Every structure is written in C-alpha cells, then in structure tokens.
Amino acid sequence: MDRVNPATGEALGVVEADDEAEVETALETAAETFETWRDVPLAERENLLSNAADVLRENETEYAELMTEEMGKPLAAARSEVEKCAWVCDYYAEHAGEHLQDDHIGTEPGVDSFVAYEPLGPILAVMPWNFPFWQVFRFAAPHLTSGNVGLLKHASNVPGCAAAIEEVFREAGYPEGVFQTLLVGSDLVDDVVEDDRVKAVTLTGSERAGRAVAETAGAELKKTVLELGGSDPFVVLDDADVEAAAATGARARTINSGQSCIAAKRFVVHTDVYDEFVEAFVAEMDALDVGDPTADVDLGPQARADLMDDLHDQVERSVAAGAHVELGGEPLDREGFFYPPTVLTDVPRDSAVAEEEVFGPVAPVFEVADEAEAIDLANETDLGLGGSVWTADRERGTRVAREIESGTVFVNELTKSDPRLPFGGVGDSGYGRELGAMGIHEFVNRKTVWVQDAEEPADGPAGE
C-alpha cells in the first residue's frame, strides 16, 4: 500500500498488503476465537475495554502523530480524536452490562419471559480514512464487549493507523484474534463478506461502497449497518443569534479540514438575517489558519490529491452555474493538498455544491424567505445524516428539528456524535445505528426466551 504525506506530497514507507493466505488465516482465527471469547464473562470484557482506554491515553501523542502523517489531520484535532476513542471505551466499559442485561417482559403467570442479547460471531468493519481511529473504536468498543470478534478492513491510505489500533487491543490484554486488521484492497472485500465465517458487516464510507457491500451481504442474508455520508443543512432562522451561528458554523464546516460526514454542508439562512450572517460567516472563515498540520493551525490539507481535485471541480462547476465566490475558491499554491476555507453565495439549487456531498472546507450559503422554505431546502437531499437549527426559541427549534429528515438534529449546536446517543442516517445516508444502547444491539441475537414449569403449561394461542 503506497502512502503519501498530504501536507508535503512526499511518499511515506510502503506497507505490504496481506495476501489471500493471510486473509484465510485471519478468518479462521476469528472463527476459532469467537467460540471462547463469547463465553468470557461480561465483566472481564468490560475490564479489558477499560484497559484499552488507558492504552489510548498513554500513547496519545504517538497515535495523533500517526494520523496527522497519514491523512493530514491537524495535530490538535488528532489528539482530540484519541481522547474521544478513550471516552467511547470508558462509556461501554461502564454501561455495556446495563445495555446487555436480559430484558424481562411480563406475559403469563408463572412464566419467566425475557429477551437475551447474544453475540453473532466475527463482524467485518469497513472503515474510511477521515477519522481513522474514532470510526473504528465506535464499532469495536460496543461490539467486542458484547462478545463478537472484529475484523477491520481500513482505508488503504491509513494502514499505519489500522496496525496501531490492533496493537491497542493487544496491549490492553485482549486474547489473540478478538480484533484483527486485514491489510487488503477493496477488491477482496466481497470475498470476505461472502465468507460463511463472517456473520455481519458494518461500513462507513461512500454511497457507492455502501450499496456494493449491502448487495453482497444481502445475497448472503447477513446483517449490515451503513453510514454513508451526509449533506447536512445548517439552518439559521430569523431570530437566531447570528454571531454565535456564524462562529459555530465556521467550525462545523471546517472540522477535520471539512472532511467529515456530519460537517455542515449547506447553510440555509432566513432573508431577515442573511446579509448579517454572510458578513459574519465570511469573517469567521477568513480568520481560520490553514497550514502545516503539525503546527497550531485550524485546517490541514485534504487527505489526497484526487480529493482536492474533486472538491475544486465542484466549486468550478458551481461558479460556472452562477455561484459567487465570497472567499477562497482556489487550491493554495504550496506543497501538499491544501484548499482554503471557501464561501459561495447566490448558489443555484441545481449546482454541484447544492446537490452533491461536498467533502472539504467549501460552504454554499442559500437565502430563504421563511421557515417553511428553510425546511423544504434542508430536505432537498437524499443524504439524511445530520442537521443543525439556530433559533432563540427552544420550542421553535424543536418543531423545526422534527421536520428535518435526518438521523440527527442539533438545535443551537453543531452536529456531532456522542457515545451516549444513537448515531446514523436515513435515505442514502444508510441505515442502522451506532453508539448508545441502540448501537450495541445492532450485532446481537435478540433472543426471546420463555421458561415455565413442566407441569404448568401456559394458555394462549399457538402458531405464528
């Protein structure tokens, strides 16, 4: 696997990919390990997860520097990512027992009827490069603790991160085979999904990749969870705190140098505050520092040259369609793959930045006449992952949030994932949920159990 430092364009050391024999060994190891791991007491699995949180904190600098080197994340943001991974480990180390305890349901006198949550087996996780630690840990923390074993197929530009994550679990004391990394290209994913030893698949990535994995898994009748990106609206209503909305909006658009599924992608602003918002928002975006991600900057490079080229193509097509560049709009003339904070106004609603997911620090701003139009425009996408609503009226914010068609909506805050809350999308943003109690229940057998004395048959209808 060839790697390039996105801040310099210089080649990094080549990482050898696994061959078919190594993949076969990993699959066999996963299947064998599951048979013993599933019987390890839950309290022991929770303790191991707590150990993983300790390993993450102890090696925060090393892991952060690795992320920055492979995909260009600013070092401060990379440190925060490691801390968030430790948080999700802490959360499930404390709450997995609560989420996985038998759920007793009253039915008949003398009958003990309950739902038990039992692991499925080896789970394949196909993960992207943009949050190379967090998106893996939000899968691994709940699902290893529920008794499954994990197989990670990570993005090909972050193999060092993939290997480091496997090392985290090894250092935490997990048995060999509970979590393994498969250093393979996308061409081998279908074969792994089809393998009888793999019981389910989770994928975070593009809509195209999600459809391909879902088709293969569906043919094998295997459970999938998909998180496929978003085109999140950032709605600023006429009674919003404009300065606060502009400041948070700039952060929401440029988190991870704009390379986030739940970044604010489309700014929908009421006409009464439109001019004030645009002026404040452009100023906030213009104040952001872009540069060497190992220094104290707000934005680093885009992760790959082709990603920067695709982003600029979206801007050029939108400008050709009539959008006006308020700020930025051209790649920076320097080594590496740097694109500046960019703000577009007068954006046609059928232009590229309106209709496509924009994965970089480019913010199209749309003017709307009223709340109803704001909701309509917010919902003019098939990518229903997240959204943000800004208003001084909590009841109004709640009402508008309910109208936005997405898996997550935050009022007077940027959209974010939280270990305590379910996370996922609707429509072309995928299905299923990660995190919280709902997340840990995605890859378990929710087994109904009915227990009664042999001499006391219960009354009731039979059959399906």
pLDDT at 457: 59
Q: Which two tokens stand for residue 218?
A: 């569906």
pLDDT at 461: 63
- Give the residue numbers annotated as catalytic, written as ranges: 227, 261
Reported for 75-81, long-range contacts at CB under 8 A and 24+ positions apart, including other chains, are 75/293, 75/294, 75/295, 76/296, 77/255, 77/256, 81/131, 81/133, 81/134
Q: Which residues contact 28 (CB under 8 A, 6 or more apart)?
A: 197
Q: Name the residue among 229, 41, 45, 54 with its Cα closest to residue 141.
A: 45
Would you give the DSSP letter of residue 391? -
Q: Which residues contact 229 (CB under 8 A, 6 or more apart)?
A: 205, 206, 207, 261, 357, 359, 383, 385, 429
Find out whether 385 and 232 touch, Cβ atoms under 8 Å.
yes
Q: Which amino acid is at 308?
A: M
pTM of the model: 0.96
pLDDT at 2: 84
Q: Which two tokens stand for residue 240?
A: 């919003």
Find out whether 256 and 130 touch, Cβ atoms under 8 Å.
yes
Please give, one letter per residue, the 3-state secondary structure of the chain.
CCEECCCCCCEECCCCCCCHHHHHHHHHHHHHHHHHHCCCCHHHHHHHHHHHHHHHHHCHHHHHHHHHHHHCCCHHHHHHHHHHHHHHHHHHHHHHHHHHCCEECCCCCCCEEEEEEEECCEEEEECCCCCCCHHHHHHHHHHHHCCCEEEEECCCCCHHHHHHHHHHHHHHCCCCCCEEECCCCHHHHHHHHHCCCCCEEEEECCHHHHHHHHHHHHHCCCEEEEECCCCEEEEECCCCCHHHHHHHHHHHHHHHHHCCCCCEEEEEEEHHHHHHHHHHHHHHHHCCCECCCCCCCCECCCCCHHHHHHHHHHHHHHHHCCCEEEECCCCCCCCCCCCCCEEEECCCCCCHHHHCCCCCCEEEEEEECCHHHHHHHHCCCCEECCCEEECCCHHHHHHHHHHCCCCCCEECCCCCCCCCCCECCEECCEECCECHHHHHCCCEEEEEEEECCCCCCCCCCCCC
Domains and CATH numbers, the chain: 3-228+429-449 (3.40.605.10), 232-411 (3.40.309.10)
Q: Which two tokens stand for residue 353?
A: 């930045």
Q: How would you write the pLDDT of the chain (464 residues) with one tens digit per residue?
A: 889 999 999 999 889 999 999 999 999 999 999 999 999 999 999 999 999 999 999 999 999 999 999 999 999 999 999 999 999 999 999 999 999 999 999 999 999 999 999 999 999 999 999 999 999 999 999 999 999 999 999 999 999 999 999 999 999 999 999 999 999 988 899 999 999 999 999 999 999 999 999 999 999 999 999 999 999 999 999 999 999 999 999 999 999 999 999 999 999 999 999 999 999 999 999 999 999 999 999 999 999 999 999 999 999 999 999 999 999 999 999 999 999 999 999 999 999 999 999 999 999 999 999 999 999 999 999 999 999 999 999 999 999 999 999 999 999 999 999 999 999 999 999 999 999 999 999 999 999 999 999 975 556 666 66
Ramachandran class of 436: left when φ > 0, alpha when ψ lies in -120 to 50, beta otherwise: left
| Distance, CA of 253 to CA of 266 (rounded, Å) | 9
